[in-house]
Amino acid sequence: MTPAATRTRIKGTRLYIGGEPDFDGAGQGRRLRHWRPSSSGINAILSGSLTWLRARSRDLARKDPWAGNGIETYAANLVGTGIKPMSRAKDEAFREALQELWLDWTDESDADGLTDFYGQQRLAARSVIEAGEVLIRFRPRRSTDGLSVPLQIQVIEADHLPVEKTEPLPNGNQIICGVEFDTTGQRVAYWLYQKHPGEILTGNVSMIPVRVPASEVLHIFKPLRPGQVRGYPWLSSVILKIRDMLEYGDAEVVRKKFAAMFTAFITSQEADTAGLVGAADPETGTGGVMEPGTTQFLKPGEDIKFAEPADVGGSYEQFMRVNLRAIAVGIGVTYEQLTGDLTGVNFSSIRAGLNEFQRRCEAEQEQTLAFQLCRPIWARWMDEAVLAGALAAPGYAANPRPFRRVAWVAPGWRYVNPAQEEAADQAAIRGGTKSRRQVVSERGDDVERVDREIAADNARADKLGLVLDTDARKTSAAGLTQARPGGTVLPSPDVPDGQGGSR
């Protein structure tokens, strides 16, 4: 027996003999004896909880302004105007043709015809945050449908995938929470309802799940534990707190409404209660309704008393702020983003908060949206484009990887202090710690496209004989004229002769 299990400890005037836990959190004493968390696997937990979590998260997103704003803020920052592909294929002509074809297809991608591909990205991102997961169906089309590439995609809610469907199959495969795995643990199929089980259905629609090969479905969610099969809402840890805050806010509004009502009560020897304003309903027996400005008669001897709930006083604002901060942490946004309250914010504090939030967004953009959504769609789209003859790629069938190489670039973050951050980028380029490509990519753009536009602007200015102080070929950052190819230096009109020159 270990010393920890045999040592004697005196607490107050009582003697305790026996073991103590090596970790306080593993104790079974008075403070922890009623804490019995589940040790079940994540899929066992979700099979009994996901439906409720999803429904309650959506309910709060509809009814609670803080929850709805937190979800929308996160989705807007994750996707913005779109996470866009920048082809890394070696052949420049192929890259240009590829990007042009992709641009044409993005307007045709939505099988429901409601938005473009980048709008579908945002819808998928919002669904992942609000419901925990979303499904994407590939919808191949006929060559006669008039699409630039005969393929569309459809965003469908995860309710189509029954979380309660878990069973072994005769061929050795097993279905876990609606997802079929083979004997090596690979996803091979999804069992989907043909229609949303909570939607209004018309006609004879079967609600028996249909097996759809995994090659035709993308399942987008944020995995938080190894072996996790389904995703759950990002609001899950604060659902109860948001609900309590919503009810508390309603109760406080009602209390203030009653406190603000002014009512006069009159006692008269001849008072007749029939038809009095606010009199009890003769059918239901319930009391009357008090309204602002009511003048109410009372019978002789009658009196009226009101409950006088204690005012929350100056603690109301602090109480709300503390709880809203907890809700913001649970969702993953900053307090300022959740509420729009910028009281007490300075440059340093807002930048520190946004830096941490941006780091989190970048991880989700790359590890969830780009990896699970964008890359598989890019590969499938390119397959269909080559097969349909819309894209010329000799040797693609033998080795498609060189053709598929791509970088997915999210929209750049807005500068908090443009002058400082722009200067920092320029210094990094000059110092060799960043390339122009990297800086332009961080702003969500393609350096090759930017270079082509700059070249076109310069050619147009030269053709028209324009000399602009923004043209670095001819004017320095200080507004001084640059040296010409022949070595002649022309001074700036505002600088004395002999003091002009290049940087």
Give the DSSP letter string of 81-127: T--EEEE--S-HHHHHHHHHHHHHHHTT-BTTSSS-HHHHHHHHHHH
pLDDT digits (tens, 9 = 90+) for 425-441: 788 888 888 888 878 87
Helix (H) or strand (E) holding 190: strand 187-192
pLDDT of residue 422: 78
Distance CA 149, CA 389 (A): 9
Cα 483 vs. chain centroid, distance in angstroms?
A: 51
Cα distances from 340 to residues 73, 75, 130, 333, in angstroms, run 11, 16, 20, 12
pLDDT of residue 200: 75
CA dihedral over 466, 467, 470, 474, signed as positive or negative: positive
pLDDT of residue 305: 67
Residue 71, burial from CB neighbour count under 10 angstroms (0-12, 13-18, 19+): buried
Q: Average pLDDT across each block of 10 residues of the chain; the chain has 503 residues. List them in order.
A: 46 51 81 86 94 96 93 94 93 93 97 96 97 97 95 97 96 97 96 90 80 97 96 95 88 78 65 49 54 69 68 76 92 91 84 89 95 97 96 94 94 75 80 82 76 83 80 69 54 46 37
Cα end-to-end span (Å), the chain: 79
Note whether 190 and 180 are within 8 A (CB): yes
Distance CA 425, CA 421 (A): 6
pLDDT of residue 289: 60
Note whether 407 and 445 are within 8 A (CB): no
- For the beta carbon of residue 12, count every other beta carbon within 10 angstroms: 6
CA dihedral over 23, 29, 34, 39, signed as positive or negative: positive
Note whether 163 and 50 are within 8 A (CB): yes
Give the pair of three-digit tokens for residue 333.
Answer: 């946004």
Domain boundary assignment for the chain? 41-234+332-411, 238-306+316-331
Note whether 255 and 226 are within 8 A (CB): no
- Tokens 């429901």 locate to 112
pLDDT digits (tens, 9 = 90+) for 14-26: 444 456 777 888 8
* Helices of type H across 333-417: 335-339, 347-364, 375-387, 401-404
Distance CA 458, CA 465 (A): 10
Distance CA 361, CA 365 (A): 6
pTM: 0.78
Cα distances from 481 to residues 246, 454, 486, 499, in angstroms, run 64, 19, 14, 11
